[in-house]
Amino acid sequence: MRIAAFETSGTLGSVALAQDGALVSERAFEKGLVHGRELLPSLRDLVAAAGWVIGDVDLFAVSCGPGSYTGVRVGVATAKALAWALGKGILGVPSLDALAENAPADAGERVCPVVDARWQQVYAAVYRRNPARDAGASGEVRRWLRDGELLAVRPEELLPRLPPGTFIFGDGLDRYAALFERPDLRRGPEPPRHARASAVAALAWLDARAGRRDDPFRLVPLYLRPTEAEVKFGSKAKN
């Protein structure tokens, strides 16, 4: 199975190609919200360099959020359009699931990526180490299993949800550093802060092998909260 994967939920976007679970190539964009400009040209270049044509792609995988509203919309809309036009499969992968893959091998039993969501909130989710992976099923199962829901909460509301010993990382720790400086939480050398298209491809491969697919007409961005425009419009409507 050939997969083209997009990650556009953060400030550093990327595209990756994978085949049968193995990474073929990956390209990151310039830092900044340039996803709309860079996504399709990067896909075109990687496909050509791999000796493929776009019709060789069997599955389009996309980081569906949460994250930058504009970035997520660009990635999801592009993946849906390509999947529909070419008659291919599509899978949405939560961006926090992909980001959790950046956690180091010595992170312990639980990890929590924390992303600055603005509006005095963070995006976060707690993940537990997959015992099947440790038992030798390397590459055949996820490293991390989500232990609860995807969250968009105030940082002080996240703290009670973190089990003792949780390894925390991400840009959300910068703005709220004092809150997360607790002896029962683990910090370490900072792993990469941006989810990668290669992780999106790897997780989509596992889901596809399990028979999962999304409907290109029903797959929508995973915002977790109203957009800024919806909040402003709703506020004006009430007035």
In contact, 216 and 90? CB cutoff 8 Å = yes
Tens digit of pLDDT at every position of the chain (239 positions): 999 999 999 988 999 999 999 999 999 987 766 788 899 999 999 999 999 999 999 999 999 999 999 999 999 999 999 999 999 999 999 999 999 999 999 999 999 999 999 999 999 999 999 998 766 665 678 999 999 999 999 999 999 999 999 999 999 999 999 999 999 999 988 899 899 999 999 999 999 999 999 999 999 999 998 765 554 445 444 54
In whole angstroms, what is the distance from residue 200 CA to residue 13 CA? 12
In contact, 154 and 225? CB cutoff 8 Å = no
In whole angstroms, what is the distance from residue 194 CA to residue 176 CA? 18
- Which residue's structure tokens are 């004006």? 236
pLDDT for the residue numbered 235: 45
- Residues 6 or more apart whose CB falls under 8 angstroms from that of 41 comprise none
In whole angstroms, what is the distance from residue 126 CA to residue 166 CA? 8
Ordered domains of the chain (ranges, CATH): 2-96+194-235 (3.30.420.40), 105-180 (3.30.420.40)
In contact, 111 and 103? CB cutoff 8 Å = yes
| pTM for the full predicted model | 0.92
β-pair partners for 128:
110, 145
pLDDT for the residue numbered 138: 59
DSSP tag of 69:
H
pLDDT for the residue numbered 37: 85
Position 178, amino acid: A
Q: Which helix (H) or strand (E) holds 41?
A: helix 35-49
pLDDT for the residue numbered 190: 85
CB count in 10 Å sphere of residue 104 = 13
Among the residues of 101-227, which ranges form H helices? 131-134, 155-158, 172-175, 177-180, 197-209
In whole angstroms, what is the distance from residue 97 CA to residue 91 CA? 13
Position 81, amino acid: A
